[in-house]
Amino acid sequence: MSRSAQICHYRVVANFSDFQLGIYFAGLAGQLPAYPVTYPGLEAAARDKLDQALFDYVAGGAGDEFTQTANQVAFQRWGIVPRMLSGAAERDLSISLFGRTYPTPLFMAPIGVLGAMHETGDLEAARTAAATGVPAVISTLMQDPLEDVAAELGETPGFFQLYTPNDRELAESFVRRAEAAGYAGIVVTLDTWTLGWRPRDLGHATFPQLRGQCLANYFTDPVFRSRLEKTPEEDPGTATITWAMTFGNPGLSWDDLAWLRGLTDLPLLLKGICHPDDVRRARDAGVDGIYCSNHGGRQAASAPALSFLPGVVDAAEGMPVLFDSGVRSGADVVKALALGATAVGIGRPYGWGIALGGAAGAAHVLQCLLAEADLTMGLNGYRTIADLGPEVLVRVS
């Protein structure tokens, strides 16, 4: 089967739950799913396939990894209240975001090592977006240049995630390249101006970028190249060290927000905002959206990201709020939407799908999540995302 045929098999359908019917009917012919249908299964399969150091880089978290685990456990503390005879035989999971309508409430969160997990990982994420209509937030850290990745998005918008370097001209160059390539928005990550304490990576004494991986956006950028005496092709080692010295901007502050806002007319989102006061300050500065996240527990110890979401949504006062961190199931997606998220980001699950099967693997993961979310809504009596709110959830022990 061709790559395009494989991906087409996972295209969205009227009710996303119909995806499971395809699996059952294929089973009548003796065909099993090509990839696991649970998160533990995906993670185990990826562990078998990837180099141990790379697997640990993706699977690992900050410190004792309590925050990473707590992100997932936080969803288990909420239960969904069933409502019967509600006419939810057909569901509508579409959302509106920055003037566009998307068929699903999902988006692919940025993963800075997709190009290490699969030889064309960043391109595969874009192809997944094109095939499913699920938008992708594409990381600054890519194995392929942002222009090449944008060309694979098809009609599905992509967003460019910016790790703001300590070189303003380089940051401006990245944003202008993203605009020219057709990205639909800029997502500025705030919580990664330096690496968090990650014992798994320290145990291997390595991380991919320091080995020159996933740095294509830097190595192809005219501003970055102007900072080098030799080209990255001639002296990749020096180029990599220059990247390491340029990557973070520990001095980035609220005083820089006007500069960031002034770089583009595209929607500007701030990723890592978790406190209501920070939401209000960002809103007053002209930011277009908030991205509530604790980086999947990878950067620093904190409370579970889900616990921040209601306060962030209240402070946003109608401004879009994207959310990620700890989402592992379709039921998790529904709970995040009920707590006010406009759209819900998927990280490691689709990353494992990329590692296992490129775009086809990632599309399979998204379809599994959508099928479960669709069934969770329908069987509990909720037809549209507008039907979801905090009142549909109860605290459980």
**Residue 295 a catalytic site member:** yes
Number of structural domains, the chain?
Answer: 1
* Catalytic, out of 204, 275, 295, 364: 295
What pLDDT is recorded for position 280?
98
Angstrom distance (rounded) from CA 302 to CA 294: 7
110 carries a ligand binding annotation: yes
Q: State phi, psi for 237 to the nearest 5 degrees.
A: -65, -45
Residue 191 and residue 299: Cα distance in Å, rounded?
Answer: 7
Distance of CA 239 to the CA centre of its chain: 28
Strands (E), 22-181: 78-80, 95-97, 100-102, 106-108, 136-138, 158-163
Known binding residue 290? Answer is no
pLDDT tens sequence for the chain (397 residues): 344 334 444 444 458 999 999 999 999 999 999 999 999 999 999 999 999 999 999 999 999 999 999 999 999 999 999 999 999 999 999 999 999 999 999 999 999 999 999 999 999 999 999 999 999 999 999 999 999 999 999 999 999 999 999 999 999 999 999 999 999 999 999 999 999 999 999 999 999 999 999 999 999 999 999 999 999 999 999 999 999 999 989 999 999 999 999 999 999 999 999 999 999 999 999 999 999 999 999 999 999 999 999 999 999 999 999 999 999 999 999 999 999 999 999 999 999 999 999 999 999 999 999 999 999 999 999 999 999 999 999 999 8
For the chain, give the number of residues: 397
Its domain, for residue 376, covers 3-395
**Cα(169)–Cα(318) distance, integer angstroms:** 33
CATH code at 86?
3.20.20.70
Residue 298 labelled as part of a binding site: yes
Q: Any binding-site annotation on 100?
A: no
Cα distance between residue 150 and residue 158, in whole Å? 7
Give the pLDDT score at 14. Answer: 59
Rg (CA), the chain: 20
User: CA-CA distance, 86 to 97, in Å (whole number)?
Assistant: 27
pLDDT at 146: 98
Task: Look up residue 390 and give its amino acid.
Answer: P
Contact indicator for 343, 106 with CB cutoff of 8 Å? yes
Say if CB 129 and CB 346 are below 8 A apart: no
